[in-house]
């Protein structure tokens, strides 16, 4: 951490040294550390990598993050909780989304968004995510 309490570097240790997972996570942590050191705001990295979905996923032992969609989802949600005003999302004006994220509708048959995990809403014969704007494949 920098003297002003900003995050300057991360380390991820999660597998046997020399394994593929260890190498990938170490390389990823190095890339994120370089991004932070070159001025990429942590808020931007958190917004990009949280809610990424791939295996392994599932229940965690952390009561603040009871369920994670992937290792990256867990890491960036943890960083958000520790370093970004208790998880409040305060994006710089230049990267704020044009539309404010909306609460998911109560459509019981709607699938989760493959990009951010929010419940999608019906849009004609397709589904649309009110949070990130993704669609279920329809134009």
Q: What predicted TM-score, i.e. pTM, was given to this entire model? A: 0.58
Per residue in 42-79, pLDDT (tens digit) is 999 999 999 889 888 889 899 999 999 999 999 999 99
In b/e form, how buried is each residue of 68-84, taking b as 16+ CB within 10 angstroms? bbbbbbbbbbbbbeebb
Q: Dihedral angle at the C-alpha atoms of 29, 75, 108, 99, nearest 10 degrees?
A: -70
Counted residue by residue, the chain has a size of 139
pLDDT score at 89: 52
Residue 31, pLDDT above cutoff 80: yes
Q: Show the CA angle centred on residue 87, arms to residues 81 and 90, nearest 5°.
A: 135
What's the rounded mean pLDDT across residues 9-35? 86
Residue 88, pLDDT above cutoff 60: no
> What residue segments make up the domains of the chain, in order of their start?
20-95, 97-139
């Amino acid at each position: 951490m920098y003297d002003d309490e900003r995050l300057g570097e991360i380390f991820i240790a999660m597998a046997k040294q020399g394994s593929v997972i260890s190498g990938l996570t170490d390389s990823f942590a190095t890339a994120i550390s370089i991004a932070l050191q070159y001025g990429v705001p942590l808020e931007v990295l958190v917004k990009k990598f949280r809610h990424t979905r791939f295996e392994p996923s599932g229940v965690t032992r952390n009561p603040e993050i009871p369920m994670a969609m992937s290792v990256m989802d867990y890491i960036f949600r943890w960083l958000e909780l520790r370093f970004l005003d208790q998880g409040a999302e305060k994006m710089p004006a230049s990267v704020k989304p044009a539309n404010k994220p909306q609460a998911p509708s109560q459509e019981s048959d709607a699938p989760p968004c493959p990009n951010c995990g929010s419940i999608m809403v019906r849009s004609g014969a397709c589904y649309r995510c009110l949070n990130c704007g993704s669609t279920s494949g329809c134009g």
